[in-house]
């Protein structure tokens, strides 16, 4: 069984602080087997992580990106090319699939950045999984996401959604394989055989993130990231 944090922000995200090298080191120290850096609207952090990843083949780095659609955020796993923001959720999903990536709906019910249930209904037949555990979300929200995933016969993923190195690995995806390859992990996600677990980040950190997000929203001229 592999444990992978599939939702991490680095310093290349604009609102993150950790370097890919430090993130990898922290995750390995916590006993995780891999990750995806999913910076906002950029694959740069993921590509850097692939460069600095250990060569001993016991840690997986899956390239990824968190994309800001018109309807909310969605993650693309397995892509190495930026997908433009502010497309519709349907257009974004098709772009991800065209690049042989896997679309993952994240923090479904989050204000401002979750796509919400109605938009999920538009695309769920093109999905294999949604994020069922996010360490920055409240437990009730994660439980609702998990329930919907099961109702729609989808798999699940988990991630910390941490923007600082200190808290990476708090959320993770369980993958029932011992094959340390990107293709194997992505195949398990496509087969709907993964699930997300973990622990919620400290309330003080989540409150600080909320305040910072609101400030950045005003600084951007009332535009979502």
Kindly report the pTM of this predicted structure.
0.90
Q: In this prediction, what percent of the chain has a pLDDT beyond 90?
A: 83
Q: Report the DSSP beta bridge partners of residue 103.
A: 76
Mean pLDDT of 187-194: 97
Identify the CA nearest to 206 among candidates 156, 170, 173: 170
**pLDDT 10s digits, 155-181:** 999 999 999 999 999 999 999 999 999
Contacts of 53 (CB under 8 A, 6+ apart): 24, 59, 61
CATH 3.20.20.140 fits 2-219, yes or no: yes
Helices then strands, each counted (H, E), the chain: 7, 10
Region 9-16: what's the mean pLDDT? 89
Residue ranges per structural domain of the chain: 2-219
Report how far residue 216's alpha carbon sits from residue 83's, in angstroms, rounded to the nearest whole number. Answer: 22
């Amino acid at each position: 069984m592999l444990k992978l944090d599939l939702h991490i922000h680095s310093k290349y995200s604009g609102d993150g602080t950790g370097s890919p090298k430090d993130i990898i080191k922290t995750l390995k120290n916590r006993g995780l087997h891999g990750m995806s850096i999913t910076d906002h609207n950029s694959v740069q952090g993921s590509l850097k992580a692939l460069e600095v990843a250990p060569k001993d083949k016991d840690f997986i780095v899956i390239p990824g990106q968190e994309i800001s659609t018109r309807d909310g955020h969605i993650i693309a796993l397995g892509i190495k090319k930026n997908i433009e923001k502010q497309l519709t959720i349907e257009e974004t999903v098709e772009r991800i699939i065209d690049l042989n990536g896997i679309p993952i709906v994240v923090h479904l019910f989050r204000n401002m950045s979750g796509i919400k249930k109605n938009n999920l209904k538009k695309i769920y037949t093109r999905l294999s999984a949604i994020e069922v555990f996010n360490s920055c979300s409240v437990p009730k929200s994660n439980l609702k996401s998990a329930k919907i995933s099961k109702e729609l016969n989808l798999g699940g993923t988990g991630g910390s959604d941490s923007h600082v190195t200190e808290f990476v690995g708090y959320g993770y995806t369980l993958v029932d394989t011992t094959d340390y390859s990107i293709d194997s992990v992505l195949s398990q996600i496509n087969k709907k055989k993964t699930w997300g677990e973990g622990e919620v980040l400290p309330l003080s950190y989540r409150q600080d993130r909320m305040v910072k997000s609101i400030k950045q929203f005003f600084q951007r001229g009332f535009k979502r990231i």
